[in-house]
Amino acid sequence: MRLWPLVVLVMAAPLHPALTRLAVVTGGNKGVGFHTARQLKASGLRVILACRSVELASKAAAELGCEFEILDLGSADSIEAFARQMETKYQQLDVLVNNAAIAFKAADPTPFEQQTIPTLGVNFFATTRLTDRLLPLLRASAAAGRQPKVVNVASLAGKLRQLCPELQAQFADPALDRGRLVSLVQSFVAAVQSGRHREMGFSNSNYGMSKLALIAYTRLLAREEAGNGLVVNACCPGYCRTDMSSNRGGQEPSVGARTVALCAVAPNVTGGFFEHEHLSEW
């Protein structure tokens, strides 16, 4: 399927000399998120780990020399509290890395239809809620010439090919708006509950659909924010040896983090999908 043209931004304004660029990495206490935080800090950014566990976050932050704040994507109240903390305590945000996600293990006895809402709830709905809530800070960063970026950590599991051609066209539609995207995601959830998701052309992967929806949101947000100077991209870090993969991945998380960190500091392309440290096709 032909991808809609990427928007290219020319960020000509100089960085504010008095401010170190500040990055938030959700789920940064371990795995790809931890190594992304390490690489961003090494590149000169001030990094905040946003994590559910105080114990794990404090330990990781101490090891990395970063700061941490508590964020539970499963709680709308926690998302709001985190956003307010960013507004009042830090008053700045230049890079948002949406790395936190959930995935049920293959051996998990929870029925497929009971995994759908929790998976989409965190990986799509909560992630987009957090991003939207932090947009004012990111827009302020753009206005100050600090070249803000949003990086949505997705997956090859979120590729369009998991859908029938008709649904591929709908999710990839360059005119897709927020209402239509949410409607498509809700259609998948309803189809799973009725046992008709395969018949209707959806995939049989809750995780894959959550990441596909996140990539669609990435493209939509990039189009919405192009005029504000905000660069938004999605990426796949690859199959890494992490807790999420039960340590079965084929590469170290530090390698996968390179693609995430690249999207956080380098590209002026917006609305793209990156893998293996290069722009790829969705």
Residues 183-193 have pLDDT tens digits of 999 999 999 99
* pLDDT over 80 (residue 9): no
Contacts of 107 (CB under 8 A, 6+ apart): none
Average pLDDT over residues 126-134: 98
Catalytic residues, which ones?
207
Q: What does the pLDDT look like over 27-48, one tens digit per residue?
A: 999 999 999 999 999 999 999 9
pTM above 0.75, yes or no: yes
Q: Which amino acid is at 175?
A: A
Q: Write out the H or E segment, with its range, that includes residue 114.
A: helix 112-120
pLDDT value at residue 251: 67
Burial class (CB in 10 A: 0-12, 13-18, 19+), 218: buried
Residues paired with 70 in a beta bridge: 51
The number of beta carbons lying within 10 Å of the beta carbon of residue 183 is 11
Question: Could you give the C-alpha distances from 122 to 30, 46, 103, 116, in angstroms and in order?
Answer: 18, 26, 10, 10
Which domains does the chain possess? 22-111+120-156+217-280 (3.40.50.720)
pLDDT value at residue 224: 98
Contact 86, 62 (CB under 8 A): no
Q: What does the pLDDT look like over 146-178, one tens digit per residue?
A: 999 999 999 999 999 999 999 999 999 999 999
Spatial CA neighbour of 188 closest among 159, 169, 163, 155: 163
pLDDT band (50, 70, 90) for residue 268: confident
